Chain A
């Protein structure tokens, strides 16, 4: 039992690495994608729109397999499995985050931009100090949903052979002819997501000082 838990903690560590690295890359990338989607240049916005359609319109598991195997067929060499997972997750989640950002940015009243403009704020200052702080507050509930989904999506990484928590649990279940490890993994996921939910609650409460 002790050995099983050790293995599962190792698997959890891999899942958490996927989780945090995905967020690290997809959160800023999503902002770039959102900007592209809102671009006034028709070519840029439709290209970015196509990318979002593909990312949201096909299964993540398929994208994962594509990112891992496509370079092999095209260039004859492939990236390592873990890197492929991070790339696939980052570009997939960036598409979802981008749409959330876009909704947030477009929900800020035009008057805020006009006030900033009349006061002589630069475009950058307006974006970083007027728009984004208000966007962050508005998108928190939607972001919470997405981040919780990401915790559970880390389980897909096993598709290309990355030994994250769920793969470890399945291996143990097969070895011991028992479903117990899988249920224990369920508890692990639940605890991780309880922490995510609590964190979002905390942030939302922190941002509750204005309306």
Chain B
């Protein structure tokens, strides 16, 4: 069953058209990688799904509810505030630059949204956070502050922070681009582990080997369009598309 469907989505920044008619579906339990050159619109697509950007037209549904819809008359309308707030919690996002809250301890980074948004009682939220930290291999860092952690550790905390809200889908926006190669490995290992647990994930990445390794499906984007879509095998090894070939030849 599709947990996210994106249909004919368009998005421009003033005169620059960043997404030109994007359609795809993300199935439950699937790991989808989105690859493509810088400026191809892949991050913008992720930001539209997580509601950090608003689309100009098109339809996005998440977990069976409509976030935004363009009707037959061409009128694009977002769901009401309440519905949007409810729907968007189904999608977690891990940022390239982590964006942890520097003034909160690691524990509070992970519990704040649970308590403020989901109204989870404090001790329950802390139990959930402790479990997640253990899973991320950081059980001893609960009281640390983000500046005391390495980039890789910060990114693992931010993954824990996103998972604490129990999203149906976890999105990653170039999760290793701010990390050196050594630390990249630890993040990829975490994502891989989540994949074995059948977490539904959408990963925007420049790590081709990784995309090939963990994805069920790969989307190649260029210039605001989905150029090719298929199994890692089909895209990485057997592509017939000239543009895809040219892009992949650099790796």
Contacts and interface: CB of A to CB of B under 8 A. Distances in A.
A59 to B, nearest CB: 39
Nearest to B113: A119
A120 B88 contact: yes
Interface string A110-153: 01101101111110010001100110010000000000000000
Interface stretch (B14-22, B90-98, B198-206, B228-236): B90-98
A40 interface: no
Measured as residues with beta carbon below 8 angstroms from the partner, the interface class of chain A is 20 to 34
A211 interface: yes
A211 B162 CA distance: 22
Interface of A is mostly: helix
Nearest to A211: B147
B117 interface: yes
Given A120-B165, A209-B145, A211-B147, A115 B116 contact: no
B102 A115 contact: no
Q: In the complex, which of the residues B95, B97, B103 has the most CB atoms of chain A within 10 Å of its own CB atom?
A: B103
B99 interface: yes
A210 interface: yes
Contacts of B52: 114, 117-118
Nearest to A125: B116
Contact of B103 (A115, A121, A122, A137): A137
Q: In the complex, which of the residues A120, A134, A211 has the most CB atoms of chain B within 10 Å of its own CB atom?
A: A120
Interface in A162-211: 209-211
Given A125-B116, A134-B102, A119 B95 contact: no
B132 to A, nearest CB: 14
A210 B89 contact: no
A119 B120 CA distance: 14
Ordered nearest first, which 6 A-B pairs have the shortest CB separation?
A115-B99, A111-B99, A119-B113, A120-B117, A211-B147, A118-B93
